[in-house]
């Protein structure tokens, strides 16, 4: 099973949608397997990180609950897509579960914190728009060091997100 999961991940990274779909057909329950080595890691995390929208859609169609799975850093697929600036993937993930906008990682950072740190203004705007929390709550959410979204944007010299 580990080999099949590795092949599935490779198909995502290589953007081979046909091989990916074939693996899903060969082993229909493969998306239920989320542990890789000693880390929790899902195909949805891989697709979200690499910005492969078609793979994200395919995975969400077959296993929508993966949107809530956290990896070893406690990052959801939405954390990864937000940090990478993959707007369409952020939209797909938030559509599946808007509560993930406020999911906190091991440093108490939300996907908004990561988008702000990386200067991903469009992603940040989308997260604010789609979140079920109030903008006031989102702006005042602090990580373990007491940093808000604004603090992290300034600290990382990503001032465009402050506009």
Question: Domain residues of the chain, as ranges?
Answer: 2-162
The string of pLDDT tens digits covering residues 64-122 is: 999 999 988 899 999 999 999 999 999 999 999 999 999 999 999 999 999 999 999 99
| CATH 3.40.630.30 assigned to 2-162 | no
Question: pTM score, two decimals?
Answer: 0.90
Distance of alpha carbon 108 from alpha carbon 104, whole angstroms = 5
Contact 103, 69 (CB under 8 A): no
Tokens of 158: 């990503």
Contacts of 90 (CB under 8 A, 6+ apart): 78, 81, 82, 111, 123, 126, 127
Q: What are phi and psi of 98, to 5 degrees?
A: -65, -20
Place of tokens 């929390």: 133
């Amino acid at each position: 099973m580990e080999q099949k999961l590795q092949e599935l991940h490779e198909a995502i990274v290589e953007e081979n949608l046909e091989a990916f779909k074939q693996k899903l057909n060969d082993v229909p329950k493969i998306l239920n397997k989320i542990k890789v080595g000693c880390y929790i890691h899902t195909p949805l995390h891989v697709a979200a990180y690499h910005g492969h929208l078609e793979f994200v859609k395919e995975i969400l169609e077959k296993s929508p609950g993966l949107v809530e799975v956290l990896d070893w850093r406690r990052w959801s697929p939405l954390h990864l897509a937000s940090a990478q600036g993959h707007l369409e993937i952020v939209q797909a993930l938030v559509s599946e579960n808007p509560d993930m906008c406020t999911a906190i990682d091991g440093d108490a950072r939300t996907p908004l914190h990561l988008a702000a740190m990386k200067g991903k203004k469009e992603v940040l705007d989308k997260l604010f728009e789609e979140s079920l929390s109030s903008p006031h709550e989102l702006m005042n959410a602090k990580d373990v060091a007491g940093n808000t979204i604004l603090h992290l944007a300034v600290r990382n010299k990503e001032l465009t997100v402050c506009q």
